[in-house]
Structure 1
Amino acid sequence: MAFTIAELSGDPTEQYRQLIAQAEALLAGEIDRTANAANLAALIFHTLPQLNWAGFYFFDGRELVVGPFQGKPACVRIAIGRGVCGTAAQTRQTQVIPDVHAFPGHIACDADSRSEIVVPLLHNDTLIGVLDLDSPEPRRFDETDRTGLEAVARIFLDSLSAP
């Protein structure tokens, strides 16, 4: 089945409404975690502006391991509690970081990244991993991004238990 990415329009809230609708359509009927993560990373990377990385890290029981993504090659393994991704996994709270250079313990996988948002992925209270977006622009992410990306993450998580 062919899927066409539609360009987002309107204010940021409207853009996330459109992105959420596209994510629902893209993942509808598919339960494979890798396939859905790969397609969702591509959708996010090619629709949201000012990104240089979008993707997933999955928890293997000990640490976060890079999963499907779009962007430059990434750090392969991240310890729980280390960097923005590890902090999101440990605290189970979305991390919105306006300046990664000011974040204690930031892991610089891509020297061009200046801001980051990481959404923890919890399925039935179990840590699955994180959804990670980086931008070369300082202060790229805000509360609208948090709300929108948490909704996108729920679509991904719901796909894991779809019949």
Structure 2
Amino acid sequence: MALLIAMVAVSLGVGILSADVELVRDIAHIPGSLPGFSAPDLSAAPALIGGACSVALVALAQAAGIAPSMPNPDGSRSDINGDFRAQGYANVLGGLFQSLPSGGSMSRTGVAVSAGARTRSAGIISGAFLAVVVLVCGSLAERIPMPVIGGLILVVGGE
């Protein structure tokens, strides 16, 4: 909760003081709606295959690095093959809805565990919560200062 309070407080301070810092809206627009279904354009596949393989390898390496550092709640070993399959399914399905590639994230996993997450459903719940936030206050998220995001990443990474 402290990270959220810090983000809101600094965002309000920047807005009130009209500080000259880069905001999220300076680099991206956050629409007030969720993306719709988008049929794949297979003619672009040959030009994208090299980049797609590179992104997939990085994402798989991250997932493989996280699994041993965050054991399952019951103490059993993670099924790396199952993790890789799930990541592949998520990326294929997400690609149909204009999502960015997804993968394992030490910072996201660390935040979830430190917040008290006990199961993998924490990712699903946080994704649903993020969808509601985008729908309800996407335009407010555009006012978050970029240094705040950088600071939050450093704090989460240091935990």
Calculate the TM-score normalised by the size of structure 2: 0.26
Tell me which of the two structures has the higher relative contact order, counting C-alpha pairs closer than 8 angstroms and 6 or more residues apart. 2
Larger radius of gyration: 2
Greater helix fraction, Structure 1 or Structure 2: 2
Greater strand fraction, Structure 1 or Structure 2: 1
Calculate the TM-score normalised by the size of structure 1: 0.26
